[in-house]
Amino acid sequence: MVVNVVVLDYGSGNLRSAERALARAGAEVTVTADFDAALAADGLVVPGVGAFSAVMAGLKGVRGDQIIGRRLAGGRPVLGICVGMQVLFAEGAEYGEDGLGHDEGCGEWPGVVERLDAPVLPHMGWNTVQAPEGSVLFAGLDAATRFYFVHSYGVRKFDMPADGGFAAPLVTWAEHGVPFVAAVENGPLMATQFHPEKSGDAGAVLLKNWLGTL
């Protein structure tokens, strides 16, 4: 069965590469900002490049935060990519010329997106990850598998224990100067800090694994 996936178009870049990668993985893909189409799709992909604040502004401009919330309330899958993952957290902190800026995220997970403490930024290129046992996204991939990252900010602490009978999220970590969250699997909500659509065969496996959950 072919599944229908919407790549949410809210003014962020990288839409077409995500569309092509998902199509190669076997999905029927639509790139749109249409509220009803995004709600009705089998899966929703939220890409994102650039600054946290700009991505959140674009997302709210198409009611993307509401779309995400409604889908998750109904147990309908959402996949965030790069800054599309970061905005799922509670808060983003960016250091600019005017000092420390704080921006509110979607708040689906606790945590702050902050600047990585590393000698070279951005973290650009291929890196390995440490996936937990039981991961669905990384099924069939070994510990030496590398994925493509482009970012200077990340989530360095993740504290969301099991609650009310629900299992704690599965968190995958990577390291660039400091450990940071590379992926999260939390029921219908999953996300990656790296770009699976730019990660070659490994990214294709991951996207097929995600499509298999729809």
Catalytic residues: 82, 195, 197
Assess contact for 141 and 133: CB atoms under 8 A: no
Nearest to 45 by CA among 15, 11, 90: 15
Beta-sheet strands, E only, within 119-202 = 123-128, 146-151, 153-155, 170-176, 178-186, 189-192
The SS3 assignment for 132 reads coil
Buried b (16+ CB within 10 A) or exposed e, 160-190: eeeeeeeeebbbbbbebeeebbbbbbbebbb
Structure tokens of 211? 């499509």
Q: Give the C-alpha separation, 44 to 9, whole Å.
A: 11
**Peptide bond preceding 196: is omega within 30 degrees of 0, i.e. cis?**
no
Assess contact for 86 and 48: CB atoms under 8 A: yes
